[in-house]
């Protein structure tokens, strides 16, 4: 019940269900294996850390481990690379496993985009999932990826399941920002924190995907990626580095040159099919405002810090409304860039 087609996969990346290689996080993987083997593992694990550092890959890796060794006392005390020849691995990758459910943002065929949130209907699939497999002795595993995307109703629905988990069930809850989750959800999960990858591990991960980095751009890429494989892929394969340079040039320009730069960026990121680049620009804009607000606070300019923080919140709301109502993205981007220029 997990498929390579049920979630957005970046060009050049491997779906976490099919990814046989995990870079870094050895301590976290060993902890999960030992905890499971002891028979005292928690029924819900909150795997938290920045986006793109391997949370989903670790979750699927652990799920493969549990499904391959349904008796905890007979399971090894470490997570091995999944065996591509095993029936469990093939079933999970093909979306044919009756023992694993991957909950993520659904694709909306009408808009041609992934929905902006995990809805309660997606979470309700877990209830049906558990009832359909209640007669088997195998573990039933639900991966929520990421839980940050759940709306309020979906969060309340998953909370009820966490409060009264079915027998031999396991929840692997992924979060880029656990502070956004309901405190009651966090309190019912065992936290497991993953850190950003080191430069060497990030380079190994990119090499494993066949992605080459030009030596002249390596330092800039590593700094901008921040230890995230997905961020590095956006920078390499989606023109992220070019957008960062164009955004800086826009902030440095004035008058007609600045307006020309705004339209050039808007045309690039708002074109149909450029959802990833659009999201990347929104993320960069948010990061810029956050950094400027923090800088103003450090310098004692609290009025400016407040204005920037308020603008950040307003931009986030505007983006959410634009996505929810499928508004013209070019106008949304132009408005966002104008506010950034004003803030700078």
Per-residue pLDDT tens for 22-73? Answer: 999 999 999 999 999 999 999 999 999 999 999 999 999 999 999 999 999 9
| Strands 190-193 and 44-48, sheet pairing | parallel
Query: How does residue 115 score in pLDDT terms, banded at 50, 70 and 90?
Result: confident
Place of tokens 């929520």: 144
- Average pLDDT (126-144) is 83
Measured CA distances, 205 to 89, 253, 317 (Å): 21, 37, 35
Average pLDDT in the chain: 92
Residue % of the chain over a pLDDT of 90? 82
Do residues 190 and 42 touch, judged by C-beta distance below 8 A? yes
Contacts of 297 (CB under 8 A, 6+ apart): 305
d(CA 269, CA 243): 9
pLDDT at 133: 58
pLDDT band, very low/low/confident/very high, at 227 (cuts 50, 70, 90): very high
CA distances from 89 to 92, 135, 137, 269 (A): 5, 22, 18, 37
Q: How large is the average pLDDT for residues 246-270? A: 94
pLDDT above 90 for 150: yes
H or E stretch at 344: none
For the chain, how many helices (H) and strands (E)?
Answer: 14, 7
> Confidence band (pLDDT; 50, 70, 90) for 116?
confident
pLDDT > 70: percent of the chain? 97
Residue 112 above 90 pLDDT? no
Report the chain's C-alpha Rg in angstroms.
21
In contact, 280 and 246? CB cutoff 8 Å: no
144: left (phi over 0), alpha (psi -120 to 50) or beta: beta
User: Other CB atoms closer than 10 Å to residue 243's CB: what's the count?
Assistant: 20
H helix runs in 179-301, sequence order: 183-187, 199-208, 215-225, 229-237, 240-252, 255-270, 275-298
Residue 312 is encoded by which pair of tokens? 């950040």
**CA gap 204, 228 in Å, rounded:** 12
Ramachandran region of residue 225, left (φ > 0), alpha (ψ -120 to 50) or beta? alpha
Q: b or e along 73-82 (b: 16 or more beta carbons within 10 Å of the residue's beta carbon)? A: eebeeebeeb
Beta-carbon neighbour count of residue 201 at 10 Å?
17
pLDDT band at 111 (very low <50, low <70, confident <90, very high): confident
The whole-number pLDDT of residue 312 equals 94
In this model, does residue 179 exceed pLDDT 90?
Answer: yes
Residue 253 neighbours by CB under 8 Å, 6+ apart: 261
d(CA 305, CA 228): 28
DSSP single-letter state for residue 50: S
Confidence label for 5 from pLDDT (cuts 50, 70 and 90)? very low
CA 342, CA 258: separation in Å to the nearest integer?
A: 11
The CA–CA distances, whole Å, from 193 to 104, 114, 125, 184, 211 equal 20, 27, 27, 18, 27
- How far, in Å, CA of 278 to CA of 167, rounded? 42
Phi, psi angles (nearest 5°) of residue 97: -80, 135
- With a CB cutoff of 8 Å and minimum separation 6, the contacts of 139 are 66, 67, 70, 99, 168, 169, 170
Region 192-204 average pLDDT = 97
What SS3 class is residue 203? helix
Under 8 Å between Cβ of 17 and 59:
no
Q: Residue 1 pLDDT > 60, yes or no?
A: no
């Amino acid at each position: 019940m997990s498929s390579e087609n049920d979630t957005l996969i970046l060009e050049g990346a491997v779906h976490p269900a099919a990814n046989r290689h995990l870079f870094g996080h050895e301590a976290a993987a060993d902890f999960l294996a030992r905890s499971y083997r002891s028979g005292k593992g928690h029924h819900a694990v909150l795997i938290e850390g920045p986006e793109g550092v391997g949370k989903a890959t670790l979750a699927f890796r652990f799920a493969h481990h549990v499904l391959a060794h349904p008796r905890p006392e007979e399971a090894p005390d470490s997570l091995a690379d999944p065996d591509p020849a095993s029936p469990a691995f093939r079933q999970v990758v093909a979306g044919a496993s009756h023992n694993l459910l991957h909950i993520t943002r659904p694709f909306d065929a009408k808009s041609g985009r992934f929905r902006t949130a995990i809805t309660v209907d997606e979470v309700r699939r877990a209830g049906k999932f558990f009832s359909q497999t209640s007669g088997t002795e195998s573990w039933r595993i639900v991966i929520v990826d990421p839980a940050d995307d759940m709306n309020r109703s979906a969060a309340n629905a998953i909370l009820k399941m966490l409060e009264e988990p079915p027998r031999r069930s396991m929840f692997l809850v992924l979060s880029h920002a656990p502070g956004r989750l309901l405190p009651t959800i966090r309190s019912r999960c065992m936290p497991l924190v993953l850190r950003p990858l080191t430069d060497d591990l990030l380079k190994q991960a990119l090499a494993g995907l066949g992605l080459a980095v030009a030596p002249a751009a390596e330092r800039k890429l590593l700094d901008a990626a921040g230890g995230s494989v997905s961020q590095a892929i956006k920078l390499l394969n989606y023109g992220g580095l070019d957008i960062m340079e164009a955004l800086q040039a826009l902030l440095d320009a004035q008058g007609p040159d600045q307006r020309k730069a705004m339209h050039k960026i808007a045309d690039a990121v708002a074109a149909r099919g450029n959802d990833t680049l659009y999201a990347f620009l929104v993320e960069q804009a948010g990061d810029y405002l956050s950094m400027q607000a923090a800088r103003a606070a450090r310098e004692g300019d609290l009025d400016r810090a407040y204005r920037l923080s308020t603008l950040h919140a307003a931009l986030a709301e505007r983006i959410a409304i634009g996505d929810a109502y499928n508004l013209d993205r070019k106008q949304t981007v132009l408005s966002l860039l104008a506010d950034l220029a004003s803030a700078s």
